[in-house]
Each structure stands twice: as C-alpha cells, then as structure tokens.
Structure 1
C-alpha cells in the first residue's frame, strides 16, 4: 500500500462535512475529520488476525510528520505482539509512579524529616538544649543534606559533613553525629528509611579526653577584677560575669535569667525546674554584692524580659559571648565563666562549709538515690551565710587588685570585649 499520500496543506485545508470522513496517508495511517471540525490521527493495524485502531492524537497538536513517526514506532511494537495503546498506558503508569516516587522523596527529604523530628522531641528537651540541637542541625547538616531523601543518605554523604565539623571542635562533630543518629532512628520507625548508617562510622570521631575545669587562684581572681574594671565591651556583659562569680551559677543560667525570677525582698533568685539541668526548681540566695549587680543592671535592661538580652533584641545573650570576654582577659589556659563553679566549690570546702549546702548551691543532683529521696532540704539559711562570705571574699580580692601597683589597664585591655561584642 502506498504511503505518504497526504501533505500538510491537504490536512490543514480539510473541511468538516455532515458526516465523519477519512483522509488516508497509507500504511494504515489516516486523518479522521469529524463534523464538529476536529481532526484526529488514527492508525489501523492487526494483531493475531484481529483489526485494531490506535489513537495517535489530534491535529494540529500532532502534525503530519509526528503522526508518521508515531505510526512507524507503533508498527515496531506490533511486530513484537504489543498493542501500542497498551504500551502508552504502561509508559503513563511508569511516569505517574516516577512522579509519585519523586513526591515521596521530597516529603522524606532530610529537611522535612529533621523538622518533623525536632517537632517531635521539642517537649522532652529543656529550652537551651533544644535550641542547641536545632542550631546544630541548621548550621552543620541542612546546608549539605536538606534536599536529599533521607533513604538516600549514606556514609558517602555523611562523612564529609562530620569531617567538616572538626574545624569547629571535636565535640561539635560528636554532637552532630548524635543528632544524625537520632534523626535516622526516627525515620526508620516511620518507614522513611531502611537503615541507619551512623553505627558504621564508629571510630571516625574521637571523644577528647576529659579535663577538669580550672580553679582560679587568688592571683587569677584579682587579675579577673583588674581586667573587668578595664573592660571595654558592653556593660551588661561585665555585670553578667560578676553575677556568675557571685552566685556560682552555670553561664547559661545567667544568660537566660529573667527579671521575674528575682525576689528582692527575700534576696533570692528562683529558677524553675524546666530551665535547670537537673530538672528541679532551684533557689539561689543573693548576697548584698549580687543585689548591687542587679541594681546596676536596672537602668540598662530592666524594661525587657531578660536581665541580659541579646543585642539583636531577640532572646537572651549567648554563653559564648561571656566565654569570649573572659578568654580575652588572658587569665590562663581553660579559664571560662564556668570556672567560677569549681573555684567556689574549692573555696567553700576549704572554709569548712557544709558539703550538702555547697552541692545544693551548685544545683547538683544527689548521686545516692536513697539519700536523694529523703534529702529535700534546700539549706537556705546555711547557703545564705556561705554566699555572703563568698561575696565578701571576692570583694576583698577586687579591692586588693585595685590597690596593687599594677596598671589598671594592660595593653590587652583595650581589645577586651571585641569578640564578646561580635558574639551578640
């Protein structure tokens, strides 16, 4: 049978009539012209002796040349005993499956899964711990893994991320690895991933040997107050460091302290359990010197929620800002605001204060569970006496520092506070 009988001009010029009619192009291909003006390409073929009709598509969406190409492709399928319409349906089904798979992959991307994980565990973490976890995921993991389906993330993708964390310190990578492990466990339980690749990375990161916190010597304590007087950073940062020293609190506890936690009549600082590491309410007696620090702070920040707000106006200051300020004082290796806790504990024990009172002041949890069950005393009167004696000791150290022959401002003092200001 002759082929290619039609031309583009003939197809375009075909007019509708009262009844449908065909314009043959040969080889079984024809154009069906309907009374409503539509023009449809059809191809007639046989399989197993039975005549079948394959709908190629409408004109002009499918031009004459495309219709012939589709006819030739369909003929190859028929030679294999495949109906072209069945093949088209199979291709369509596969395309739909591909799209659905792609959609599922997007819904199970690391960004989606990690966000769902964070929402799931938020209530079980203290605010500070949760913010640290969320910050690590956003800072270290999201930039590299966000768009990848979690089921496709393996050692190849994770290793360079953890290696990069080493630049931020050994513990940064260890914490991030722990976050990843928790996210994968979350995904496996929900059928979003089949395996957790984290255990196979055992040994990639080494936990650094633990180092006890430094205890400040009497000379370092005097140096601290000399440098604090020469401090050129934000005044609230210097006041925060003073409050940490006077109360032996954790730096994070001072950083997120709120005005409504302070009772000035009773001279106590009451922190709710949800903000404490041990998960229980903590009452800290305030010495006269600690009260004075807060009074000095009033004209600076009293109008807000936090004693030490973040410079951006959102939330509270960061412990890093305090660490930078104290590190710039060059007091010695491993000296951070947290050192005041070990320094206070050492001093109080040397002075013969009751160990239970010291541990309660530090908000430590009793290791003996039986003893912890019965020992509910907060020993406030003993601790009030102890903290006033500690404050007097620090005041004497500051007075001695001022009276020494050393210059009140070292060359490095002008630089103190630059890093703290950058930390916010």
Structure 2
C-alpha cells in the first residue's frame, strides 16, 4: 500500500486483517506508511490492534523496524507518534543508537535477573496503577519511554547522577525545560518507590537541580475574551463547542476534550468528572450554565453526534477530539488574539470571576483547586449554591463580552474566508492550465 497521510479518522477507518488473506502472511498484519513523517508506520493486526512503528536502513543496508514504546493507537495520537518517530530516528542516525539491541538488552537483563530501568518501570506500573490516576501513570510511562528510551536496558542500580544531569541539560539545550523538569520529577518518583520497597538502595535523582519553568500568567482582557468566544462560536463541531465549553466551565483542556455523555445528567445541568480524569484524583461536579447546556443540547440533538460514540466531542466516532494546535490557529486568526494558551483561559476564568465579585475560595472550588494549609485540611464545604451562581454570572459576562466583539470577528472571518477562496480558485486555475499545456522542453543551443 502506498504511503498515506495518517490521521485519527483514517486510523479509525482501518479494519482488522483477514487471517485467511494470502497477502497477510504467517502472522496476519499489514503496515501502512505515513506520507508526512518518513519512517513512521502503523501496523494493523488481525484483531484490529493498531501500533506505531519506525523503519530505517541500517549501515549494512538492511531495513530495520521496531515498535514505538507505548505506541498503541488511540492511546498514542498520530501527532505524538510523529514526534516519537523523530526522536527515535534522530537517535539512530546522530548518536548511533540501536533500539533493537537495547530491546534485547532489556529482555536479556530481565531473563538474567538484572533489574533494568525498563523492568523497574513495568513493575511500578503493574503494582501502582490501581492506586494512582491513570493520567499520572501514563505521563510517567510516556516521559521515560520517550526521553529515557536509550536507558531502559540499563541496570537500574547502575544509573548515575552524571547521566541524569547530562540528559536534563540536553533537553534544556533543546528548549525543553518543562520536559526536563518532568523527567527529573517522574524519575525521582520511580526510584523513590524502588528504594521504599527495597528494590534499590539509592535514588540518584535526589538533589539533581530541576530547571525553573516560568508560570503562565496571561489573563485575557474582556475584549480578548469576547473575541475568542465569538471566534469559537463560528467554528464547526467539535472545535467550536470545545473552546466555548472550556471558557464557560473553567476546566482543563483534556477534561473538556475527553468529556463523555455518561458523565452528564439527563437535563444537562451537571457534569460529573470522575476522579481518574481529574488532576487531584477526586470526583468533581461542574454546574452547567444555560449557554453550556444549549451547546451540549445542540450536539446531543443535532446531526453532529455520532451514533454509539461515548464522547461528546469526537471527529472519529470512537475517540476523543484532538488537534488542539490547529484549532487554536484558526481561533487566533479569526479573533485577532495572539500569545495565549488554552490553559490561559482557566487563569482568565479564575481572575475575572473574582473581579466580578465571586469569593476567591468559591472560584478555587469551581476550578477544583486543592486548598492549601489548614483550609485544605479542615475546610470540606463544597459551596454548591455559590458555585452555581458564580458560573451563571460568568457565562452572562462571557456572552456579553462576545456580543460586543461579534461584528468585528465576523467581518474578519469573512475576509479570511474570501482570501482562502480566492487563493484556492487561483490554484485550481493554474492547475487546469498546466494540464492543458504540453510540457515544452527546449534543446540547448549548439554552436556551429
């Protein structure tokens, strides 16, 4: 099969391989190569499992292929798979890494009774998965598999502070200060558990300085808030509804994107987010204001909802929505607001709510913040009535801000649409003209 552009929708459409098909081979499966990231492939098995692989040519000229660690779709999205493929292939070509040799070393080490870092991580996942949030377990697994992949076959007791510092500094040098900080935090958590359970004697991550990461403090003005909400209202499902619900609820990006119909009550007044999807690990109830209910009702009762899909926001019908960067680019262009992140909408909600007269502790409860100190230990009031009133007040404010910006935003959207249409039309005309005109090849002049 020729390379194709791998997308979430395309992967959802791939069916399992028929084992009776002669082309399937002795181990029924098929590989589909990505046309965007050369070397990335997805393998579809007879039971429908889809895993990402990378392929490269070894120095001896032979083609090699290995699965990306943790690369089962849809747990790993296409965009992340391309990033992992870049990292793996960069390591293979520039640093001479051999993923297959590392995999063998990890396997052989486990067989010899040597506790490798990979084996330690597997043991931690197996024993701690039920106690911790799924998102936290996945974060540790992803970071260590991605940014510590070449050490997974190393005996855990042999890892040195010097190696850890070198990896942290390399990530920081690549502009990945946040990733370096996460690697040090997660590595310390893994080794701390190993020391506590007697598997290791020393945690080499202790005391390694963690790079400071600037805290985002961008708070949108009322004009910017209204422009972003107005721009979102002009976007199709699910991107427009996603951005609007993010602003109306103050919840985190993935908490909104992964919303399921089973989490909503019948009249769409309350959204109960299970603890496994919350940062603090506790179940959280979100009051849904009238604008939020209207958005959800339009999805539920409209043609956009896909039968059998558990997710409120989905493009595939089987997985939550993704493509957040692309959505934001469109919202930026139409709203005219730049230099902000999705998480800044949460900061804006908290700050502007308090400015509207909402008590700070009520705003904290709405955002599911963990209260510090004595309040966190002894204050268990949920302030349900106050939270409902605050979210209703906030929704009214957001819609009022959007109404003031709607005319400007709509005109900008129409202008951008006209430019895109004109560009597309010119491109089509040029393409048709090139098809009609035969290719002219001029012979070089030959002097007599």
Query: TM range, normalised to the smaller chain?
Result: 0.5 to 0.7
How big is the shift at 1:242?
0.9
1:389 equivalent in structure 2: 393
Matches within 5 A, 1:68-87: none
Match of 1:172 among 161, 171, 179: 179
1:367 equivalent in structure 2: 372
1:257 equivalent in structure 2: 259
How big is the shift at 1:310?
7.3
The 1:294/1:414 distance shift into structure 2, 3 A limit, reads: farther
Match of 1:158 among 164, 167, 185: 164
Asked if structure 2 preserves the Cα contact closer than 8 Å seen for 1:228 and 1:238, the reply is: yes
Deviations 1:255-296 (A, max 9, x none): 222211111326111223343333433222111211121123
Return 5+ residue gaps in structure 1 as ranges. Answer: 1-100, 416-424
Q: Whole-Å Cα distance in 1 between the matches of residues 316 and 175 of structure 2?
A: 24
Match of 1:184 among 172, 178, 191: 191
How big is the shift at 1:115?
0.9
SS at match of 1:137: helix
How big is the shift at 1:237?
2.3
1:111 equivalent in structure 2: 118
Answering whether residue 308 of structure 2 is matched by residue 308 of structure 1, we say no
Q: Whole-Å Cα distance in 1 between the matches of residues 249 and 372 of structure 2?
A: 23
Deviations 1:111-155 (A, max 9, x none): 11111122222233222222212211221122x012222223324
Normalising by structure 1, we get a TM-score of 0.62
How big is the shift at 1:411?
4.4
How big is the shift at 1:302?
5.9
Asked if structure 2 preserves the Cα contact closer than 8 Å seen for 1:226 and 1:408, the reply is: no
SS at match of 2:203: coil
Match of 2:285 among 283, 286, 311: 283
Aligned length: 305
Asked if structure 1 preserves the Cα contact closer than 8 Å seen for 2:250 and 2:345, the reply is: yes
Asked if structure 2 preserves the Cα contact closer than 8 Å seen for 1:109 and 1:147, the reply is: yes
Asked if structure 1 preserves the Cα contact closer than 8 Å seen for 2:144 and 2:183, the reply is: yes
Q: Whole-Å Cα distance in 1 between the matches of residues 374 and 342 of structure 2?
A: 30
Q: Whole-Å Cα distance in 1 between the matches of residues 337 and 392 of structure 2?
A: 27
SS at match of 2:226: helix
The 1:310/1:155 distance shift into structure 2, 3 A limit, reads: farther
Asked if structure 1 preserves the Cα contact closer than 8 Å seen for 2:116 and 2:155, the reply is: yes
1:294 equivalent in structure 2: 296
Answering whether residue 127 of structure 2 is matched by residue 125 of structure 1, we say no
SS at match of 2:396: helix
2:345 equivalent in structure 1: 340
Match of 1:322 among 309, 324, 328: 324
The 1:198/1:356 distance shift into structure 2, 3 A limit, reads: closer
The 1:165/1:307 distance shift into structure 2, 3 A limit, reads: farther
Asked if structure 2 preserves the Cα contact closer than 8 Å seen for 1:327 and 1:335, the reply is: no
Task: Determine which structure has greater relative contact order: mean sequence separation of CA pairs < 8 Å that are 6+ residues apart, divided by chain length.
Answer: 1
How big is the shift at 1:404?
2.9
Asked if structure 2 preserves the Cα contact closer than 8 Å seen for 1:259 and 1:302, the reply is: no
Q: Whole-Å Cα distance in 2 between the matches of residues 341 and 102 of structure 1?
A: 46
Answering whether residue 202 of structure 2 is matched by residue 195 of structure 1, we say yes
Answering whether residue 189 of structure 2 is matched by residue 148 of structure 1, we say no
The 1:187/1:346 distance shift into structure 2, 3 A limit, reads: closer
Deviations 1:373-404 (A, max 9, x none): 35524333x33333223222222333332223
Q: Whole-Å Cα distance in 1 between the matches of residues 348 and 214 of structure 2?
A: 21
Q: Whole-Å Cα distance in 2 between the matches of residues 375 and 285 of structure 1?
A: 18
The 1:102/1:264 distance shift into structure 2, 3 A limit, reads: closer
The 1:103/1:383 distance shift into structure 2, 3 A limit, reads: closer
Q: Whole-Å Cα distance in 1 between the matches of residues 195 and 337 of structure 2?
A: 47
SS at match of 2:358: coil
Asked if structure 2 preserves the Cα contact closer than 8 Å seen for 1:105 and 1:149, the reply is: no
2:232 equivalent in structure 1: 228
Return 5+ residue gaps in structure 2 as ranges. Answer: 1-107, 421-448
2:406 equivalent in structure 1: 402
Matches within 5 A, 1:27-66: none
How big is the shift at 1:245?
0.7
The 1:114/1:209 distance shift into structure 2, 3 A limit, reads: same
How big is the shift at 1:172?
0.6
Answering whether residue 136 of structure 2 is matched by residue 136 of structure 1, we say no
